Structures are given as C-alpha cells and as structure tokens.
Structure 1
Amino acid sequence: MKTGLTNPTAELEPGGLWQRLFEPHLSVTDIGQRRQARLIAVIALILAGTHIIGALAAYMTEGDIRSTLILIALAASCVVGYSLARRPRYRNGGYLIVWLLTVSGFANFSGAASLSYSLYVYMVIAFVFAGLSFPFRYMVFYVVFCNAAIGFLHLIHPGYANAGFDLAVFIPLGTLVLTSMKYRDNVERDRVKEVLKINQNLEEAKSALEQRVEERTRQLENQSLRLRVVAEIARDAATARDVSDLLERGAQLIQERFGFYQTGIFLLDNNHEYAVLTASSTEAGRQMIANGYKIGVGETNLVGRAAATGEPQVSLESRPDAADATNPFLPNARSEMALPLKVENRTVGILNVQSGQSQVFTDEDMNIMRILADQLAIAIERTRLFQQAEDRLKELQQAYGRVTREAWKSLAESGLLKNAGYRFDNVRIQPINTAPELGEEVMQTGKMTLRTGDGRERSNQTQAAIPIKLRGQPIGVVTVKLKEGYRAQTIAALEQAVERLAASLESARLFEEARLRADREQAISHVTSAISAAGEFDAILRTTVEEIGKSLGDSEVSIQISGEL
C-alpha cells in the first residue's frame, strides 16, 4: 500500500474495484437505498455482459444478424441503466432495464409460436429485477399490467394461443414476488422499529439518570449555601466515585474541621441487622474496622438506637450505655452523637462523632451535623447511583459485545465466509487463512499497534495493525506496511477506513441474516403448503417426509407413527 496519496481516504475505502464500479451516488445516504442502488448497478452490469455474450454466440454460431443487433441494443440499454443507477435518481436505471426486458418479452421477434418462450426468457428476469428495484405500489401496477397484456396478447398476435397457460405461470409468479417484497419490507421495518426502540430506551435511561444526578447535585448545592464549612466538606466528598473512598474522606474532613476526638461512619448491612463500622478518622477506629466492629440494630447504645428509630441520638456525658464507654480503643470519649444517614426516609448508615469533652454538643452543633449527615447520605446515594450506572453500562456493553461476537462466530462457522481474509501487495490480491503479523496481538489487546523494523532487511518500514472493532469487540485486523517517512494523516485515514469497513461488514452480516431468515420462512411455507394439500392420512405422511427431505438437501428423513399408543 502506497503512502503520500493526494486523497488517502479514497484509496483506502473498503471494496477497491468493486466499490468504484458499484458505489451509489454520494447524495444517496440511506443505508437501504444505497444497498438497493448498488444491487441495481450490479444486476445491470451482469445483464449487459450476458447480452453481449449472447450476441457473440448468435453471430458466431448462427450468423443471425437480426438477433445479434437486438442483443447488442439490449446490452447497451443495460449499460445506460447501470449509469443511471450510479446517479441520485438511481431507480431510473431499474425502470429502464425492467421495461426494456418487458418490451423484449412481448416483442414478436420470431413469430407467435415462440412468443411464450420469449415471455419466459425475458419476463421472469424482469419480474425478479422489478421486485428488487421497484417500490411496492409500482410493482403492483407492473404485475397487473403484464398479466393484463398477456391476456390481450392474442389481439395483436392472432397465432398466440397459450395465454391461459402463461397466465397460470405469471400470475403466481407476480403474487410470489409481491409477497416476498411485502415480507422483506415488513422485516426491514420491524428491524428499524426495534433499533429505534432500543435507542429510545437508552435515551430515556440516560435522561432519567441525568435527571436524578441533577436533582441530587441541586440539593447538595442548596444545602451547601447554609454553611461554608459544611459546603467544603460536601464539595470534597462529592468528588469521590467510590463509596469507601467517599466515607474515608468524609470522616477525615469532619475530624479536621470540627476537631472531634473520633469520627466514624457506619453502614447498615443488606438485612438491616447490623451497623458495620466502615470509615474512621483515627488509627484506633481503623483497627476496629480491621477487627470487623459492628453494632446490632436496636441495641441500647446510641448507634443501635439511631439505626432502629431513624432519629438522632445524643449523649453529653460518658455513661455505661454509651456505644464506646468500655471500648479499649477509645478510652477518652466523653460525649457522643449518632445521626442517621437517610435517603428518602430510608436509613442507610450512621454518622457517629465523639468528643473528649463533656457537655460539648450544642443545638447548633446538632443542626449542623444533621445537615452534614443529610448531605453525606445524598453523596453516598449519588455515588452508589454512579456505580450502579457504570455497572449497568458495562453489562450492556458486555451484552452487546457477546451478541456481536456470537453473531460473527456463527457466521464464520456457517461457511458463508469463503476466505478469512485477503492480502494485496500492489500486484495481486491473494486469499489468506492465517492471522497476519501482529494480528494475534492486536486481537487480544483490541488496540492499534505500530512496529518499526529491528535492523534487519527492510528495517525502514513501519508495520501498522489496526483492529476491526464492532461495539468494542475486535472481529478482525488490518495490517499495513508503511514506507519510511509516512505522515500521521495516513494513520488517521487508515483508522477511518477500518471504522467504515467494520460498519460495512456488520451491514452485510445483517443483510445475510435477513436473507437466511427469509429462505427458512419460505422453505417452511413450502413444506406446510404441500402438507396441507394432502387429504389422506398416508398422503400426509408421504408428502411430509418427502418435502422435509427435499428442503434439507441430502439428509435422510424418517416419519413413523407409533403403534403402541
């Protein structure tokens, strides 16, 4: 691959020659319309080639100048249709080719005796091509028109006497094409609705989360205006994303700003049976945490009563029922206050502060600590919400990744991928079945890798390996050997090209899934119709085993009704 191109992005687009031949006009932006325009261009070019081959065969084998000129004219018309398919109004190419095929089918080139043959040769192709390129309402008109024309064809060609037989073929064919178009449109519409619904649910979840975060933040800001010291503590506490880190910082800030002897924060367990000491501002408290210190909800000490009642508890004098009156880790505690940490009338923990002085807590201290406890509780809840949101986002990303990985794994196992990859050396394209250099490393890390030569031959080259990623999951790798002096824009262009390659591959996979699903439904419908047509018991069994066997190919199928019922 060359570097220093005038437009490297254009040269690195996936598809190469295929894209340059069949890529729709840039003004066609809808994915479905681009796929349809590309399909019209492909079929138009194929028809042009087959008509040219037919013209050569007619001239070289039979010397039929008239048929040769007709086939050449049709080939030229297909080329014109191909050119129109590459323009903004791409359907005009399909319209042109379909009506030319239709006229060719109805034209009496060889007499009425061969008119049915002409209809079968051209009209079947026209019906299929119209089903791919026409809108549904146009297709209905086209099917009705063609069948009506066949019915009145004997007025133009008196020798034509096969109208009944031909209508028996083309009416079901038109109905089948219309049914398949309607089914295809319904499948596509349902898929779009499903994607839109998923996006809407994600947006609603995101909006709800943002609204809850905004409400919590607004509450914190309004309360922080009441007291500068409390605002400082709340502001520092709000920066934490981890609950343990938040509690440790909150306890330390309260200890530093208010000068308490001990500050501890308890959190209730899931069963609301114990208040577990989770954070402390002193070394003694941290040792208590290491020992698994906890207090039962409803015990006679302050923390137990506050956890049970949801109301603040204060002790201005050290007494035997105080929480830590006999605690050897806190021998100098004289006054204690336990304030519940509540979120929406639900107690989630206890803020426990202790002082080395008696009669130290005032009503103002109580009010300040209540505000602080409320803010701390909100900060805890907000942190939990952030953690839950991150966990759910990770689960969603993992789920999307698993779906993508399983889908591509199934595609690879199905055998639809003829080759695992290709290599181009500026001379020819070769299929490859093994991972290129740096490929396994990039597939494991999921990150782009650049590696320069190690002093051996061609050491001036740099090899770039870029993962092909879908929803965060690598499904392949693109490796490029760059010449010395490459520019950063080249790497950026490569990454953009790989991103578009991933999107194109995913679109192709989805299209293939839809096609396989349609094939399965058609096979099931065919088997069901055949079974329904059989009236007798034995005929039903024979028809069922035969149709299932045909639908499965070379498989052996057996059906037996047990006689031991």
Structure 2
Amino acid sequence: MKTFHSFGTALTWQSGDQDTELQHWRERIFMTIVNVAALAGSIAVIFNAIAQIKDSNWLMLGITSIAYLWLLSIALFKRIPYNLRAISSIALLYLLGVATGLIAATAGGSRIWLVTASVLATVFLSGRAGAISTGINFVTWLVLGLLFQQGILDYSPTYLETLIQPTNFSLWVATGGTSLVVGVIMVASIAVVLNNLSTALKRSQSLTEDLEEKTDQLQEQTKILARRSQALEISAQISRSLTSILDPEQLLYKAAKQMQAEFGLLHVGIFLVSQSGAEVNLQTSSGGDSGKTAPAPGYHFPLEGGLIDWVITHAQPRAVMEDEDDTTTSLRVKLPDARSYAALPLRARARSLGAITVQSQQPLAFEPDTLAILQLVADQIASLLDNARLFVERETALESERQAYRELTRTAWGDFLRTRPEIGYRRDQDGLTPIGHPGLSQEENPDAAIYTLPIRIRGEVLGSINAQKSSGAGPWTSVETDLLETLADRLESTLDTARLYEETQRRAAQEQLISETTSRMRETLDIETVLETAAIEMREALRLDEAEVWVSTAQSLRTDASAELHAAKG
C-alpha cells in the first residue's frame, strides 16, 4: 500500500489511477469486441455479400466490405491510436445504419446499427460520447424519415417487398447475420464489463481487508502510543512532585509511594548500596504487607548474585517473568502474588547508588516500552537523590562553618569585652549618658511601658536594647516593635563590623610594632647590642616594669629554672 504525504496528493493519485484503470477497461473491451466481431463478422459478411450481389445492392456491398476491412485493420494493427480506432469503428456502424436506412427505410436493420453505435460510443469513449451519439442517431433517423416523406429520397417497392417475404431465406440469412454481429458485440461488451467488474470487486474487497488490517494495526499502535503518553505523563508528574524535596529519606519514601500508586504495581522497593559496596539496604518500600509478606525497611543482604546485583553491575534494567528460573534473576524480596518483576539501576554521575525493584500481578507487565519508561523514572529519582545528598552535605558543611564562625565570634567578643566589661549608653530627656549597668528605672514612671530586645551576634546574646515609653503613651504597637527589631538587626551587624574594624586596627598596630622592633634589632650584628635592644623595645612596647633578655647553655637554664622553682615553693 502506498503512503502519501498529504490528503490532497492522495486524492489526486486516486483520481488519476481510476482514470487509467477505466481506460484500460475500455481498451480491453474494445479489443475483445473487435476480435470477436472480426471472427464472427467474416461469416456474416460472406452471407451478406452473397445476398447483396444477388440483389445487385452494390452500395451496401461496398460499405460492408470497407467496414469489415477496417475492422480487420484495427484488430491486427494495435499501434493505431485507441481514440482513432474507437471513433472510426463507431463511425462505421453509423454509416452502416444510415446506408441501411437509405436502402430499406424502416424495414431494414438501420436502427440496430445506430443503437449499437450509441452503446459502443458509451463503452469505448464515455457517457457524454454515448449521449451525443444517441442524439445524432435520433436526428439522423428523423431526417431520413422527412426525406422519404417529402419524396426527396426514393425507395424501390420491389426491394421492400422482398424484405417482408418470409419465404425468402436469403433475407433471413442477412438479417440473422446482422443480429449475430450485433449480438456478439453486445454480449462481448457486457461479458467483459462484468468480468472487469468482478475483478474490481475482488480487488476492492482485498483492499478493504487490507485497509481493515491496517486500521486494526493503527488502532493498536494508537493504544500503545496512548499508554506510552500516559506513562510519560505519570513519570513527569512524579518528577515534578519530587523536585522540591531535599530530604533524601522523604524523597525516596514519596517516590516509592507514587510509583506504586501511579503505575498500579503490587510492590515497589528502593535499595541503596552501603558505603562498603558489599551489600544493599532496603531504604523504603510501598505495597504488599510490610514486615509479613514483604520485608520492612532496614532489611539488608550482601550483593552475591541475584537480580539486584546483576542490574547494579551491568547498569541496565531487567524484567523477569514468573516462570523464569535463573540465579541471575532471583529476587529475595519477591512477593507470592507477583507474576512478573523487574529491577532498575539507580545511577548518578557514573556512580551506582542502588536499585529499584517493581513487582506486578500481571504476567507481562514489564514489556520493553514500559521498562524504558520506568527506567526513565528511576534515572530521575537517582538524580534527585544525588542532588538531595549534595544539598545535605553542603548544609552540613555550612552549618559546621557557621558553628566555627560563631565560636570564633564568641571568643573574639569575649576577648573584647574583657578589656571593656560593660559598655552602654542611655538616651533620655537629659541627653546621652554612659551607663555601667543595663536596666531602666521605673521609680519616676511606674506605669511606663518597657520593651526589651536582645542583641545577638552570630546567635550569641551579647547585650540588650531597653526602650521605655512615657506614661500615658499607651502600649507598644506592632509597627513600633517591628521598627525596633529592624533597628536591632542593623545594630547587630554594625557592632560586629565595628569590632572587626577595631581588631583589624589593633592587629595592624601590633604588626607595625613587631616590624619596627625587629628592624631595630637587626640594625646591628653584635649579640650584646641585639640583646640590649630587645630588652629595651619589649619593655617599652608592653609597658613593663622590667624585662630581661639573656642567653646561656641549656644546662644552666635548667639549673636556674629549677632553683627559681624551688625558691618559689619555699
């Protein structure tokens, strides 16, 4: 069956093919009639010639002889164009009808020849040609009648009398020959038409059966495509619903539930490879009777053969029917009601994360197309699981960094506050006043509303903000408290920035002092001068009462240190 790219092209092809087939029919009918007429007409022409010679009807003898010779020519020479052969044959029949009418008027076979010409014009050419031929024949017949009526055409009464003599056997032979030729032409035409019609009907029936078969195949393909489309939509829904989940355990739990529900499976289990890579753990499952017919989460076993080991090793999905018995297809978590099952590898970034097992009560549930779609879902789950693990690792690392930074901040603020135990300021109607202790006095305004906010830096409380409204001002509104909290947040970051700036300045001063002291000590290469300079610079830099710098042997140092320690204890 041919396939075309457009409906319009198909219609054009069908129309052209039908016209070609019809033309072939006409040519076959024409050749059949011509061959039969040439064979049967030879007998009729012989008897007709004898009768015409006997009656001295030389005109009819000449016309019939020419007609038969032309009939033989178009039967033998097939290179003559079809339209020329067909039109000339119809014209000969027309001439026979006219000639017969001129000689025998209504008593001869003129009408038979004219009617035959109209019928064959329809068969050989077209319905329009047949209608035109019929009209011409009718007009011709009426014209002949008018010509005879007006006496323009004359007829021989003696000849007409012979035409109606039943004892004239030659007349019977002549009219019988005409009837034979016309009958053969009609029978041959109808027989060929019926034969071609039967062939066309058989071909049409064959095409219809072909079309029904193709239609059934198309419907089956449509069903398959619909199932694929539905499965792909389900996989897309599962992927969309899991994208926002960043907790690995919750991700796997929801993935197993959705796969089992959306695909109508008996059981879904998700196994993850242990850190050692020697065994797998059932992380989560859905379907079955967990803990009874199906293992509960936490179930683990070594990777020593079996279906899960095979798919993890080969990184390919594999489906198994219930009657298959092979060591590579065994499944430890197979349920009694499962008639088919499969395992899907979980891989991300060329690493094996584990496998997903799916079980069904249908015997052929995991065909290649279905298995490919399930593997697509498994790949998406593996990618999301890998991303969730990376997110957890990153959050853990960030939390460790935040904790370390909080410790550093706490230590730094502790060192800072040890030099300044309490720092604070109060702003009231008397102006700005430094304070040594936090807290507001309510002795003068016992009804005043006080709002206290902690000052936190990196999660550590280092102070507080105490705000007091005058008596009669009413309670604190949400707008006021929100404003205070915003100011407190800004104060926290500003305080830490200021401390970091002071610490940076202090470290810069220390580095400068160390650099200057080191430079002075390096101004000379004399050991005693270096020691003198070191003692002087250390005392001035640290504002010490006294400073000693001396060198000695290790034994002397140990002896002096022991003596000083003994004196200190005494």
What secondary structure does 1:276 align onto?
A: strand
Superposed displacement of residue 280, structure 1? 0.4
Q: Look up the match of 2:504.
A: 514
Q: 1:480 aligns with which of 455, 467, 477?
A: 467
Give 2:400's aligned amino acid. Answer: E
Query: Are 1:407 and 2:408 an aligned pair?
Result: no
Q: Which residue of 2 aligns with 1:294?
A: 300
Taking the TM superposition and a 5 Å limit, the aligned residue runs for 1:265-414 are 265-282=270-287, 284-285=289-290, 290=296, 292-297=298-303, 299-318=304-323, 319=325, 321=327, 330-413=335-418
Q: Match of 1:227, SS?
A: helix
Residue 385 to residue 538, structure 1, CA distance change in 2 (3 Å): closer
- Alignment check: 8 A CA contact 2:311 2:318 kept: yes
C-alpha distance in structure 2 between counterparts of 1:355 and 1:225, whole Å: 18
- Tell me the equivalent position of 2:30: none
Which AA in structure 2 matches 1:311? Q
Equivalent residue letter for 2:272? L
What are the Cα deviations for residues 89-133 of structure 1, in whole angstroms up to 9, with x where unaligned?
A: xxxxxxxxxxxxxxxxxxxxxxxxxxxxxxxxxxxxxxxxxxxxx
Moved more, 477-486 or 387-396: 387-396
Deviation at 1:311, TM superposition (A): 1.7
For residues 401-422 of structure 1, the C-alpha deviation after alignment (integer angstroms, 9 at most, x for no partner) is 3333322222112x1x363323
What is the aligned-residue identity percentage? Answer: 30
The residue that corresponds to 1:186 in the other structure is none
> Which residue type is aligned with residue 371 of structure 1?
L
1:542, distance to aligned residue in structure 2 (A): 2.1
Deviation track 1:210-265 (CA, whole Å, cap 9, x = no partner) reads xxxxxxxxxxxxx9998111112222222322111111111111111222221101
How far 1:539 sits from its partner (Å)? 2.3
Over residues 536-565 of structure 1, what are the superposed CA-to-partner deviations in whole Å (9 max), with x where a residue is unaligned?
322222222222122221254332322358
Which among 408, 425, 443 is matched to residue 422 of structure 1? 425
Name the structure 1 match of 2:544: 554
Q: Is contact 2:273–2:353 with CA below 8 Å preserved after alignment? A: yes
Partner of residue 541, structure 1: 531
CA contact (8 A) 2:267 2:288 kept: no
Does the aligned pair in 2 maintain the 1:306–1:350 contact within 8 Å?
Answer: yes
How many Å apart are 1:473 and its aligned residue? 4.3
Assess if the C-alpha contact under 8 Å between 1:303 and 1:350 holds in 2: yes
Measured in 2, the distance between the counterparts of 1:326 and 1:493 equals 63
Aligned pairs for 1:75-114 (under 5 A) are none
Return the letter of the residue paired with 1:337: A
* Residues 261-311 of structure 1: CA deviation (Å, up to 9, x unaligned): 2110111112222121111003534666657312323x2211121122222
Alignment of 1:241 onto 2:246? yes
Measure the CA separation in 2 of the matches of 1:283 and 1:436: 65
CA contact (8 A) 2:455 2:465 kept: yes
User: Do the aligned partners of residues 497 and 467 (structure 1) sit closer, same or farther apart at CA in structure 2, a change above 3 Å counting?
Assistant: same
Distance of 1:289 and 1:463 partners within structure 2: 61
Query: For residues 349 and 501 of structure 2, what CA distance do their matches in structure 1 show?
Result: 50
Q: Relative to 1, partners in 2 of residues 1:489 and 1:224: Cα closer, same or farther, differing over 3 Å?
A: farther
Structure 2 residue aligned with 1:220: none
Tell me, in whole angstroms, the C-alpha distance in 1 between the residues paired with 2:332 and 2:302. 16
Give, in whole Å, the separation in 2 of the partners of 1:330 and 1:371.
24
Q: Give the equivalent residue in structure 1 for 2:522.
A: 532
RMSD value, Cα: 3.4
Identify unmatched segments of 5+ residues in structure 1: 1-222, 438-452
Letter of the aligned partner of 1:292 in structure 2? G
Does structure 2 conserve the Cα–Cα contact (< 8 Å) formed by 1:284 and 1:330? no
Say if 1:294 and 1:516 are closer, same or farther in 2 by CA, change over 3 A. same
Q: Contact 2:269 / 2:285 at 8 angstroms: preserved in 1?
A: yes
Contact 1:251 1:264 in 2 (8 A): yes
Higher relative contact order, chain-length normalized (CA < 8 Å, sep 6+): 1
Provide the rounded CA distance (Å) in 1 between the counterparts of 2:506 and 2:260: 68
Instruction: Check conservation: 1:275, 1:304, Cα contact below 8 A.
Output: no
Aligned: 1:563 with 2:549: no
Residue aligned with 1:377, SS: helix
**Contact 1:268-1:275 at 8 Å conserved across structures:** yes
Aligned residue identity for 1:422: Y
Tell me, what secondary structure is at the counterpart of 1:409?
Answer: helix
- Give 2:450's aligned residue: 463
- Structure 1 residues 528, 389: closer, same or farther in 2, change over 3 A? closer
Q: State the 1:532 CA deviation.
A: 2.6
State how far apart, in whole Å, the 1-side matches of 2:503 and 2:277 are: 51
How far apart are residue 374 of structure 1 and its match? Answer: 1.1
Deviation at 1:345, TM superposition (A): 2.5
Cα gap change, 1:411 to 1:325, in 2 (>3 Å): closer
1:497 to 463, 466, 487: 487
Q: Distance in 2 between matches of 1:345 and 1:224?
A: 29
Which residue of structure 2 aligns with residue 231 of structure 1?
A: 236
CA distance in structure 1 between the aligned counterparts of 2:436 and 2:289, rounded to whole angstroms: 64
| Contact 1:280 1:286 (C-alpha < 8 Å) held by counterparts | no
| Rounded Cα–Cα distance in structure 2 between residues aligned with 1:224 and 1:500 | 55
- Matching residue's letter, 1:501: L
Give deviations 1:10-48, integer Å, cap 9, x for gaps: xxxxxxxxxxxxxxxxxxxxxxxxxxxxxxxxxxxxxxx
Which 5+ residue runs of structure 2 have no aligned equivalent?
Answer: 1-227, 556-570
CA shift for structure 1 position 480: 1.0
Q: Look up the SS of the partner of 2:343 in the other structure.
A: strand
Partner of 2:145: none
Q: Secondary structure at the match of 2:345?
A: strand
Distance 2:254 2:449 in 1: 49
Amino acid aligned to 1:392: A
For residue 500 of structure 1, report the CA deviation from its aligned partner.
Answer: 3.7
1:335: how far off?
A: 1.7
Residue 430 (structure 1) shift: 5.4
Residues 317, 359 of structure 1: 8 Å contact kept: no
Is the contact between residue 341 and residue 348 of structure 1 (CA under 8 Å) also seen in structure 2? Answer: yes
Is 1:405–1:475's contact at 8 Å kept on the other side of the alignment?
no
Q: Which one-letter code corresponds to 1:467 in the other structure?
A: P
SS at match of 2:522: helix
In structure 2, what residue type is equivalent to 1:348?
A: L
Match status 1:250 vs 2:255: yes
- Which residues of 2 match residues 38-187 of structure 1 at below 5 A? none
Cα pair distance change 1:535/1:502, threshold 3 Å: same
**3-state DSSP class of the match of 1:284?**
coil
Task: Call closer, same or farther: CA 1:493–1:258 in 2, change over 3 Å.
Answer: closer
Residues 313, 457 of structure 1: CA spacing in aligned structure 2 closer, same or farther, 3 A cutoff?
farther
Q: Is the 8 A contact 2:348 2:382 kept in 1?
A: yes
SS at match of 2:289: helix
SS at match of 1:336: strand
